[in-house]
Structure 1
Amino acid sequence: DIVITENDIKNLIMSKASVHAACVTLMKQAGVTHTEISTIYFAGAFGNYLDKKNATTIGLIPEIGFDQIKNIGNGAVAGANIALINRRARKTLDEIAYKIAYIELNAESSFMDEYTSSTFLPHTDLSLFPNVQKMLDACRIRKG
């Protein structure tokens, strides 16, 4: 039997809240809104099999178009291969690495506020998820 417990759901909510709060905190630090995000990349074993629609519906990531979300598999290996094979790409990667800023999320005062807001499915502010809001409204109309 496959069983989902209350504790499993609690862990899912806490994990998704952490990811979403991190996204929002980093976006604020960079001065970027969700409408300015061109692409979100899911990497690694978890990201490779993550369903874009479900990730958006539960509020794991900011709501953007599904075509703007890419599952790339093992991004570290792919990046290492590119860096080893192509010198121009390696130069570009070096330039990107130089621009990276380290942000300690637990030191950011807004992170805990974002985390708390993100512990709801999909979020306490549904205006951040207009398509999910439409889907929920459609479900309510069908039931009502």
Structure 2
Amino acid sequence: MLAPDLRKSLVMVAEAMRDARDPWWVISSAAVALHGVTPIEVGDVDVVMSVGDARRLMDALGITPIEDGASSLFRSTLFGRWETPPLVVEIMAGFHVETAGKWTEVLPSMRVPLLVEGAVVFVPEREELAGMLRLFGRPKDLERVRLLAS
């Protein structure tokens, strides 16, 4: 069962993405929760989408792109935080992770539609999600991989 704040945030994401032209996905801890893993702590909702959809979404929601959204491990061509939902939604387009000294784009290929209070939310297929989390390699991501396999 999803926590109320997560459910409400996911419904808001699905509604905001209704006019998306390209595939989009909820990833990381929220996607693990959507795959039915419990217990899982979800602090925010990470959404990966195309640059065009991210621009349109950010414009529609009045979100200013964040220039310093990159870290030593992650970077995005376009990044923003939507702070209206109960959980912050991180919008990532052109999302990359640094592995072995090079940047690797993270863009799922499989889309699993899941219903949250009647709204369709897309997540990567379970094995693809586990592969992404392994690529991220942080202890919390590796724990999520373990939980997905349980």
TM range (shorter): under 0.3
| More contact order relative to length (CA 8 Å, sep ≥ 6) | 1
> Which structure would you say has the larger Rg?
1
Report which of the two has the higher share of strand: 2
Normalising by structure 2, what TM-score?
0.27
The answer to which structure has the higher helix fraction is 1
